[in-house]
Amino acid sequence: MAIELKGVTKRYGATTALDKVSVSFGGGIVYGLLGANGAGKTTMMNVITNRIFADEGEVLIDGERAPGRDKALGRVYMMAEANLFPDSMKVEPALRLTKSFYPTFDMDYALAVAKRFELPLKKKVKSLSTGYASIFRLTLALAVSTPYVIFDEPVLGLDAQHRDLFYRLLMERAAQTEQTVILSTHLIQEAASLISHAVIIHSGRILRDMDTAALTGAAYQVSGPAAAVDAYCAGRHVLNVNSLGGLKTACVEGEPEAEAPAGLEFAGMDLQDYFISLMNEADRREVK
């Protein structure tokens, strides 16, 4: 059971937002959908949820094709960007109303989450501050309990303490419900511990679609005197290079030797380091 995109292309005039994208999301894990602004992340999520339609290709939810997958769409929840409730509605009634649209919505859990975040239940949804409006939408998404949940930049406007609480709640909830989560975020360092599988997109194309541990384990950093690093990197797949004075650090794809050559040092790469290096390489190729 999975969300599958097969050869999906979406254009806006002369701009190709998605270019023959094939990818699947399933297995009850947290996916990191990573890319720069304008890479195609939001377009992909909107195509999945039928907010927009692909020009080519198809999207399947648990094997059901569009347009006959309206029932299947009930198994997918995407955290809303804006308030979709009446202006006069208060937070607690809005939570209860969600239950009528999503039978799996866990009201008790929603109230518990609201309490953890100190979300004011008696306040009108439209009157919430930017941060608490995000918390309200997070509460809905965490409590909805659909098989697939999509978060698009979920922690915008949240302070560090509330971001940390969200990450902990998401990890706990995903484990309890075995939901498949698609998390699109620019705060890769903060969210890295949540992400089991990374899908990296650049200019509408998938660059990497891999288990996170395998992804970061297949690359490393080598640093030392510039000439020695250059000599070491000759013939290797170098993603990115940074120089400072006479020293240089290169990000290399592949397996390092058991021991670094004399004068050089090896270091591992985390998800954010790898992502930045891959984006820099992709940008250089586009310029060429």
**pLDDT of 188-236, one tens digit each?**
999 999 999 999 999 999 999 999 999 999 999 999 999 999 999 999 9
* Residue 168 token pair: 């902990």
Helix (H, G, I), strand (E, B), or coil: what is residue 33? strand
Q: What percent of the chain has pLDDT over 70?
A: 97
The answer to whether 76 and 3 are in contact (CB under 8 A) is yes
Q: Give the pLDDT score at 208.
A: 96
Q: Give the pLDDT score at 31.
A: 98
Residue 230: its H or E element: helix 226-233
Q: What would the mean pLDDT of 28-44 be, rounded to a whole number? A: 95
Q: Give the pLDDT score at 68.
A: 60
288, pLDDT greater than 60: no
86, pLDDT greater than 90: no
Which residues in the chain belong to E strands, given as ranges?
Answer: 2-12, 15-26, 30-34, 56-61, 64-65, 76-78, 148-152, 180-184, 197-202, 205-211, 219-225, 237-244, 247-253, 265-268
Q: What would the mean pLDDT of 147-154 be, rounded to a whole number? A: 94
What count of other Cβ atoms lies within 10 Å of the Cβ of residue 130? 10
179, pLDDT greater than 90: yes
pLDDT tier at 287 (50, 70, 90 boundaries)?
low
Q: What would the mean pLDDT of 157-185 be, rounded to a whole number? A: 94
User: What pLDDT, in 10s, does the model give residues 44-78?
Assistant: 999 999 889 999 999 999 988 866 666 777 889 99
pLDDT tier at 1 (50, 70, 90 boundaries)?
confident
182, pLDDT greater than 60: yes
Domain boundaries, the chain: 2-214, 218-287
Among 59-68, 97-106, 180-189, the least confident range: 59-68
The answer to whether 32 and 191 are in contact (CB under 8 A) is yes
Q: Give the pLDDT score at 84.
A: 79
Q: Give the pLDDT score at 194.
A: 94
209 bridge partner residues: 199
Distance from C-alpha of 2 to C-alpha of 62, rounded to nearest angstrom: 5
Q: Which residues contact 130 (CB under 8 A, 6 or more apart)?
A: 157
pLDDT tier at 25 (50, 70, 90 boundaries)?
very high
CATH number for the region 2-214 comes to: 3.40.50.300
